[in-house]
Amino acid sequence: PERAYGIVTKHMQLANIEGLSGKTVLEMGPGDSLLDAIIMKAFGADKIYLIDVEDFVNRDINLYKNMGKFLESKGHHFVNLEKLSSTTELLEICNAQYLTNGLEAYKQIVSNTIDFIFSEAVLEHIRKHEFDPTMHELYRIMKPSGKASHTIDFMDHLGGSLNNLRFSENVWESNLMASSGFYTNRIRVNEMLNVFKDNSFKIETLDSRCWEEPPIKISKLHSEFKSLPIDELLIYGCDVVLTLNK
């Protein structure tokens, strides 16, 4: 509960959003729980979307009851979850939809209806060939006044280094690699920012985190990445807040 609460409040702070009263909110990649739906509802969200590529959710009702108790301790009172019997009931209470078909899920959402979108270490996991179409859908569904906050992890998801940049495009983008559990799309920060801009997003704030030196020798990278500027290879993560050029 504390970690989930910290993630939601962090993104609200990054986007300079004080509350979610009456807002429609979308979380990309909620992962193994529906905890964030409870938090967003406690903050006043009117409608909530949770979108992932598969159903990863923990169905242990005690997890969600504990979230309710945690929120009570923080002074948030919206509903008593002590009698909660299922995650289906939880979604109904929160007026939330949990959609698990990735890109197709975004296409189901009505245009210009989302006030706030956020993700925590999710964008790097979107299949490379679906990244631009996904950004196009996010642009379509966001209100002109909407905001998006994303924390992005550019490290490999094996050892926190750049080992994923050792492989050729053909090998890395194969279905085998994509289903490995450690796949990232390897889109580096400048390329990703350009995709945002190409889809009419405006970069409101950008806070990058960098290594002091590359974690592996540049000579070990595949030729596709060896020519990247060293400053770009040193960036291992960032927080970015986006608005729309509508």
Coil, strand, or helix at residue 213?
coil
For 99-138, what is each residue's pLDDT tens digit?
A: 999 999 999 999 999 999 999 999 999 999 999 999 999 9
Which pTM value belongs to this model? 0.96
> 217 is written with which tokens?
């020798």
Closest to 38 measured CA to CA, from 13, 11, 17, 63 = 63
Q: Residue 148 in contact with residue 239, Cβ under 8 Å?
A: no
For 197-228, what is each residue's pLDDT tens digit?
A: 999 999 999 999 999 999 999 999 999 999 99
